[in-house]
Amino acid sequence: MDVASHTLSPDAPMPRARVLRAYAQEARSEVLRYLREPAFLLPIMLFPAVFYLMFGVVLNRGNADVARYLLASYSTFAVMAPGLFGFGVSLALERGEGLLELKRALPMPPGAYLLGKLLMAVLVALAVGTLLIGLAVALAGLELTPAQAARLLLVDAFGVVPFCALGLLVGTWVKGQGAPALLNLVYLPLAFLSGLWFPLHMMPEVLQRIAPLWPSYHLNELSLAAVGMGRPASPWRVLVLALFALACLLLAARRLRRHG
């Protein structure tokens, strides 16, 4: 029997079953890695919930409009974190430790690395979104229809993607422990300038005019529309977020090819 006939040449495509198994294993490893690091995962999930408890429940005094607005804005604030930090910090650390080069040498599809992280970010976004909805309904007394809750979770799942791309881009600029500080300089100003902490009409006019420049603003508008506030959801905002994600992804891929 010719052994060579039963082996794959280096240029032969990987069988589809092995490709799917590689994607599944990479996604599983990302989920397990985050579950084993509660010091990283819990703040991402609990900070928005604590803020909502403080401002949407304790200090709100039963105002349904405030509770609804804060549910949308803190949902946006919440889904930004797993995208930025889940991608940016982990990529910076893995680049600094040489793990990214090792993954490139492994016989696995290049996209499995990114899709595994993306899946984990989406799962975290859905988990924290569900937690915020539960707090709003149970403690703030917010009347939210199942359709509104489902739309908000759909926005959360979609909304984490552009921030994953932004986190990926930031992670290509810095290595190691410097990533969290740099990402906080992106995360917190974006939240403030997009009206996630204070409604934009309470802010200076110049900040109101430049708010549409930020992806978090467009995501927050989609979240507000999902819960029945603000203007109806516009496909234009979806397109803006999709183009922003694509631009960040292309820039990140270019930097990774040049600088590793």
186 lies in a domain?
yes
CA-based torsion, 80, 200, 206, 220: positive or negative: positive
Cβ neighbours for 46, distance < 8 A, ≥ 6 positions apart? none
Decide if pLDDT at 133 tops 90: yes
Q: 4 pLDDT band (50/70/90 cuts)?
A: very low
Answer whether residue 203 shows pLDDT above 70.
yes
Our count of domains for the chain comes to 1
pLDDT of residue 3: 45
**What are the tokens at 181?**
């500080």
- 198 to 73, 171, 194: CA distances (angstroms): 9, 29, 9
- Please determine, for residue 22, whether its predicted confidence score (pLDDT) is greater than 80: no
79-120 residue pLDDT tens: 999 989 888 887 777 776 666 666 665 666 666 777 888 888
Residue type at 41 in one-letter notation: L
pLDDT at site 13? 63
Structural domain contains residue 210: yes
- The yes-or-no verdict on residue 160 having pLDDT over 60 is yes
Rounded to whole angstroms, the Cα distance separating 85 from 40 reads 9
Tell me what pLDDT residue 20 has.
Answer: 74
Residue 71 lies in a domain: yes
Residue 181 has pLDDT above 90, yes or no: no
Mean pLDDT for all residues in the chain: 85
The pLDDT value given to residue 89: 83
pTM for the full model?
0.86
Identify the domain containing residue 123 by its residue range.
15-259
How are the residues of the chain apportioned to helix, strand and coil, as percentages rounded to the nearest 5? Answer: 80, 0, 20
Flag whether 5 is in a domain.
no
Residue 11 confidence (pLDDT) above 70 = no
Q: Is residue 2 part of a domain?
A: no
pLDDT for 162 beyond 70:
yes
Considering the domain boundaries, does residue 125 fall inside one? yes
Is pLDDT at 77 greater than 70 in this prediction? Answer: yes
Q: What are phi and psi of 78, to 5 degrees?
A: -70, -40
- Structural domain contains residue 96: yes
Q: Which residue has the higher pLDDT, 2 or 99?
A: 99
Does 3 reside within a domain? Answer: no
pLDDT band at 225 (very low <50, low <70, confident <90, very high): very high
